[in-house]
Amino acid sequence: MEQDLDVLKKKVDAGVSFVITQLFFDNELYFDFVDKARAVGVDIPIIPGIMPITGYQQIHRITGMCGATIPQQLEHELQIRKDDPQAVTDLGVAYATLQCSELLARGAPGIHFYTLNRSPATRSILAALRAARPWDRALQPA
């Protein structure tokens, strides 16, 4: 992490105006990263990268390649649905919607979706977010 933050700071010093994180499924990882980045002087927007889960095998292949982790409870729910592709997608859309809602309500500057040419899932998430408007909650005191 220390090396990643050092490289990020160098990129910011060279003129980067925003960054997008790798995909993640645990929002606390994002907020922890933002806190650490701010502590080393990174003051640009850090946009969370979200990948709606649309396939059981696919998400395990992708997380295996990039080192991302799937929280235990989400993994359990995926296991239950692994033989029902639509159920996996439905869970993935619901989970990403809740994830994005929390991120925006807690002040994330936006969301970057890794769609892998599966835009219907992202469109569903966006429709729910537009209806819920979690960014408005970020402006109100708790």
Query: Is residue 141 in some structural domain?
Result: no
What residues have CB less than 8 Å from 132, skipping those under 6 apart? 101
pLDDT for the residue numbered 116? 82
Give the tens place of pLDDT for each residue, 38-89.
999 999 999 999 999 999 999 999 999 999 999 999 999 999 999 999 999 9
Domain residue limits at 67: 2-134
Q: What percent of the chain has pLDDT over 90?
A: 88
Burial class (CB in 10 A: 0-12, 13-18, 19+), 116: middle
Query: Is residue 65 in some structural domain?
Result: yes
pTM, two decimals, is 0.90
Query: Is residue 45 in some structural domain?
Result: yes
Question: In angstroms, rounded to a whole number, what is the distance separating the alpha carbons of residues 138 and 142?
Answer: 9
Query: Is residue 123 in some structural domain?
Result: yes
Question: In angstroms, rounded to a whole number, what is the distance separating the alpha carbons of residues 98 and 3?
Answer: 31
Reading phi first (left if > 0) and then psi (alpha if -120 to 50, else beta), residue 41 is in left
The CATH number linked to 81 is 3.20.20.220
Query: Is residue 140 in some structural domain?
Result: no
Confidence band for 136, pLDDT divided at 50, 70 and 90: confident
Query: Hey, is 49 helix, strand or coil?
Result: strand
Angle between helices 56-66 and 85-105 (to 10 degrees): 50
Query: Is residue 37 in some structural domain?
Result: yes
Total tally of structural domains belonging to the chain: 1
